[in-house]
Amino acid sequence: MPDDISPAGTVPRAAKPVLPGRFTSRHALWMGLFLAVMVSFTFFADSYRLFQLTMLVVYAVAVLGMTILTGYSGQISLGHGAFFAIGSYATAILMSNYNWPYWATVPVAAAASALVGFLIGFPALRLGGLYLALTTFALAVAVPQILKVNALSDLTGGVQGLTMDKASAPFGLPLTGDQWIYLFSLGVGCVVFLMAWNLARGRSGRAMLAVREQAVAAEAMGVGLAGLKTRTFAVSAMITGVAGALSSIAVQFVAPDSFNFFLSITLFVGLVVGGVDSIPGALFGGAFIEFIPNIANDISKAAPGAIYGVILIGFMFLMPRGVGGAVVNLIRRAAGRGTKAGLAQAPAAE
């Protein structure tokens, strides 16, 4: 069996890293169009559709947090549901127990998630990617239990959870609560996406990519490995925490069992579907998370899990860069700059 001696994986490795380019006028045009369409939904969609679109934005932001972590620094988290939960609960506790206005809770939720992300990431990130996956897997499984603890039930509402008042439009704007919550989430989402874009194409983004591709070489060039990885993890947790806060505001209810292991896995599936290293891909991931389970639930109770599983394995074998990567590839090819980037061999994450 001579071919056995160097077993060639049939799975294409991660392609050459693509740094987000300069922000050109064409980018601005497309983004403007996209935003105009999204904003126009405010006035056309009924309140149920608006809620779904709000949750699309929420999940897209949550997946974006994982994109920064996995796509840019090459670390794997199976427990981002935990940071989503921290963001959600921070907002819920402040709104429900302390009567804070909804908008003021978002920065606090972001800070709380970032802090916990830093504390969890610090020990795990000094080790290989598999250990982080294990630690975060454990975190994801343990979260509902921690939220149910009796000692904290005055704060968290225990098993019952917490309910909040619905946010209403400020300044006497002629908008319903649902419309305003959708616009608010869209606005926060835009800010977070812009921040992530800037982070990724700046100095930190380059350092993260260098760590992903060749950790030793990056260290030799003066990138502080442990520090950078821990900070990346904290930023990633913060972004997902913001998504959690937005979801609390939209749903007006939190309970421990909404933040089970399946939520973390759902976010992971969204990441893979959207494309691990594609920032716009997070939108596809968010759309996938919001709409596919609804469709699948009509088939049977077991269907979402099975569909997620098949899609995960299918994407890993056939489309490891996800929808985002495939779309970028198509656009490039159409523009006559076809590089077959999806098939290019490059050093892998770990």
Partner 1 sequence: MTGLLHQIASGIASGAIYASVALALVMIYQATHHVNFAQGEMATLSTFVCLTLIQAGIPFWVAFVVALLLSFAFGAVVERVLMRPMMDAPVLASVGVFIGLLLIINALDGWIFGYTIKPFPSPFHSAHAMLGGYVSPHEIGATALTLLVLVLVWLFFRFTTLGLAMRAAAHNPASARLCGVRVNLMLSLGWGLAAAIGGAAGIMVAPIVFLDPNMMSGILLYAFAGALLGGIDSPLGAVIGGFAVGVLENLFGAYVVGTELKLTVALVIIVAVLVIKPAGLFGRAVHSRV
Which residues here bind partner 1, judged by CB under 8 A?
A: 1, 4-5, 7-11, 13-14, 70, 74, 76, 78, 120, 123-124, 127-131, 133-135, 137-139, 141-142, 145-146, 148-150, 216, 261, 265, 268, 272, 276, 300-306, 308-313, 315-317, 320, 348-350
In the complex, minimum distance from the CB of residue 314 to partner 1, in angstroms, rounded to a whole number: 8
Distance of CA 89 to the CA centre of its chain: 18
Q: Which of 201, 200, 212 is nearest to 65 (CA)?
A: 200
In the complex, minimum distance from the CB of residue 43 to partner 1, in angstroms, rounded to a whole number: 39
In the complex, minimum distance from the CB of residue 217 to partner 1, in angstroms, rounded to a whole number: 9
Toward partner 1, which CB reaches closer, 80 or 245? Answer: 80
Contact 232, 75 (CB under 8 A): yes
- Counting DSSP H helices and E strands in the chain, the numbers are 15, 2
Toward partner 1, which CB reaches closer, 198 or 214? Answer: 214
In the complex, minimum distance from the CB of residue 317 to partner 1, in angstroms, rounded to a whole number: 7
Toward partner 1, which CB reaches closer, 76 or 211? Answer: 76
In the complex, minimum distance from the CB of residue 97 to partner 1, in angstroms, rounded to a whole number: 22
Toward partner 1, which CB reaches closer, 189 or 324? Answer: 324
Q: Taking the CB of residue 222, how many other CB atoms lie within 10 A of it?
A: 7
Toward partner 1, which CB reaches closer, 31 or 225? Answer: 225
In the complex, minimum distance from the CB of residue 244 to partner 1, in angstroms, rounded to a whole number: 19
Contact 281, 323 (CB under 8 A): yes
Contact 250, 114 (CB under 8 A): no
Toward partner 1, which CB reaches closer, 8 or 36? Answer: 8
Phi, psi of 162 (to 5 degrees): -130, 150
What is the distance between the alpha carbons of residues 87 and 102, in angstroms, rounded to a whole number? 12
What are the DSSP calls for 91-136, one per residue?
HHHHHHHH---HHHHHHHHHHHHHHHHHHHHHHHTTS-HHHHHHHH
